[in-house]
Amino acid sequence: MMGEIDSCTRLTGLFGHPVGHSLSPLMHNRAFQELGLPYLYAAFDIEPSNIASAVESIRALGLRGVNVTIPHKVAVMPFLDEIDEEARQIGAVNTIVNENGRLIGYNTDGRGYVQSLIEEGNINPPDARVLMLGAGGAARGVSLALLRAGVERVVITNRTYAKAEQLAVELTQLFPGRDIRSIPVEQIACEIKESTLLVQTTSIGMHPDNEASPIPAEYLHSRLLVSDLIYNPLQTRIQRDALAAGARIHSGVGMFIYQGALSFEYWTGRKAPVHIMREAVLASLTADK
Ligand code: NAP
């Protein structure tokens, strides 16, 4: 399956814990193969207590770079030489690039999301009136990227209201002059009427809870694009409810593919073969069913 591995092969990979179910190795190796690039992507299961030496090993072993996932996205930061501005604002790194021993941290999650939203959701960010469900790590990256892309209005709601409030305050400091607010979940019914983009960032509806939805179906309306970060299942309950209400939907699989595509481009300097990456991921997700 892989191209030839020889003494010129450059190694990339994933630092996480666990990493057993990740689709990143499949997606990146297919992309390297497609372009005939002498790269290999491996999954490294790193215990939290080993994260400092794991980052040091990128230098020692001359890895070209790695993706970083749960639970290491924040923990790697003190061991890097440089952190890009966007990753600093998000407060987490998902991509490390080794530039001749100098380790640079980036975060491609939010940008990957926005790129997929524009390509697949057919949305012009400055026109979108965003209601965001959830205020966890993914919500932070995605809301920042939406604001960086020109979104004027972001309303955040979350089960734990204090977290929505805190995120709205931090975003307002970074983007003064934009309409950024938090609301308690009881106000969703009214707020959603004014919204055109619903971004679902909670873990509600994720496999195996395929029938769960964070909001009642009757709140959804036909002027909405319902974007769910979840990609397993490929279509979530809220998205099925959205289609029934005449709304459009956007799947989280695009975010996964584009965040990987941006990492790929940092490491190889080549444009990522997004269609091949998508094909590999979708084939694997549908084969699992
Ligand atoms: P996280 O930091 O743990 O945040 C989880 C969020 O879900 C919080 O807002 C939490 O609310 C909310 N939540 C969880 N259970 C809930 C419940 N029973 N009722 C109400 N709210 C609940 O996780 P994350 O990293 O942000 O990830 C969130 C989702 O995004 C996951 O499903 C993940 O798979 C998906 N994701 C997708 C991609 C992609 O590439 N497509 C990338 C990253 C994440 P509280 O604050 O009240 O706990």
Q: What does the pLDDT look like over 4-39, one tens digit per residue?
A: 889 999 999 999 999 999 999 999 999 999 999 999
Q: Region 236-245: what's the mean pLDDT?
A: 98
pTM: 0.94
* Shared-domain flag, residues 196 and 268: no
pLDDT at 95 (0 to 100): 98
The atom number, within ligand 1, closest to the CA of 232 reads 34
Q: Region 133-153: what's the mean pLDDT?
A: 96
Question: Catalytic amino acids?
Answer: 73
The band of 287, judged by pLDDT with boundaries at 50, 70 and 90, is: confident
The band of 3, judged by pLDDT with boundaries at 50, 70 and 90, is: low
Residue 1 inside a domain? The answer is no
* Shared-domain flag, residues 132 and 188: yes
Query: Is-contact 200 133, C-beta < 8 A?
Result: yes
In angstroms, the CA 134 to CA 71 distance is 19
* Shared-domain flag, residues 133 and 265: no
Q: What does the pLDDT look like over 47-99, one tens digit per residue?
A: 999 999 999 999 999 999 999 999 999 999 999 999 999 999 999 999 999 99
* 168 pLDDT higher than 50: yes
- Could you tell me the distance, in angstroms and rounded to a whole number, from the CA of residue 100 to the centre of ligand 1? 36
* Shared-domain flag, residues 267 and 203: no
Q: Helix 137-148 to helix 109-121 angle, to the nearest 10 degrees?
A: 60
The band of 2, judged by pLDDT with boundaries at 50, 70 and 90, is: low
Q: What does the pLDDT look like over 97-132, one tens digit per residue?
A: 999 999 999 999 999 999 999 999 999 999 999 999
Specify the DSSP element, H or E, that contains 129.
strand 129-133
* Shared-domain flag, residues 114 and 232: yes
Look up the domain containing 228 and give its range. 110-251
Q: What does the pLDDT look like over 258-275, one tens digit per residue?
A: 999 999 999 999 999 999
* Shared-domain flag, residues 246 and 117: yes
* Shared-domain flag, residues 17 and 82: yes
In angstroms, the CA 5 to CA 17 distance is 26
Q: Which amino acid, residue 85? A: E
Structural domain tally of the chain?
2
**β-pair partners for 104:** 82, 97
Query: Is-contact 227 121, C-beta < 8 A?
Result: yes
In angstroms, the CA 138 to CA 183 distance is 18
| DSSP strand pairing (95-99 vs 102-106) | antiparallel
State the chain's mean pLDDT as an integer.
96
* Shared-domain flag, residues 120 and 173: yes
The atom number, within ligand 1, closest to the CA of 256 reads 40
Query: Is-contact 92 74, C-beta < 8 A?
Result: yes
* Shared-domain flag, residues 14 and 120: no
Residue 31 inside a domain? The answer is yes
Q: The tokens 């499949």 sit on which residue?
A: 26
Q: Region 142-166: what's the mean pLDDT?
A: 97
Residue having the nearest C-alpha atom to atom 48 of ligand 1: 160
The best mutation among 22, 201, 210, 285 to test binding of ligand 1, ranked by most ligand atoms within 8 Å of the C-beta, falls on 201
User: How many residues does this entry show for the chain?
Assistant: 289
- Could you tell me the distance, in angstroms and rounded to a whole number, from the CA of residue 10 to the centre of ligand 1? 34
* Shared-domain flag, residues 245 and 134: yes
The band of 1, judged by pLDDT with boundaries at 50, 70 and 90, is: very low
* Shared-domain flag, residues 67 and 115: no
* Shared-domain flag, residues 42 and 97: yes
The total of other beta-carbon atoms located within 10 Å of residue 98's CB is 20
Give the pair of three-digit tokens for residue 11: 């190694």
Report the CATH number at residue 103: 3.40.50.10860
The angle at the Cα of 104, spanning 230 to 12, to the nearest 5 degrees, equals 65
Give the pair of three-digit tokens for residue 47: 């215990």
Q: What is the 3-state secondary structure (H, E, C) of 193-257?
A: HHCCEEEECCCCCCCCCCCCCCCCHHHCCCCCEEEECCCCCCCCHHHHHHHHCCCEEECCHHHHH
What percent of the chain is predicted at pLDDT more than 70? Answer: 98
The atom number, within ligand 1, closest to the CA of 134 reads 9
Residue 93 inside a domain? The answer is yes
Give the pair of three-digit tokens for residue 29: 């190796």
Instruction: Determine if ligand 1 sits within 6 Å of the CB of residue 256.
Output: yes
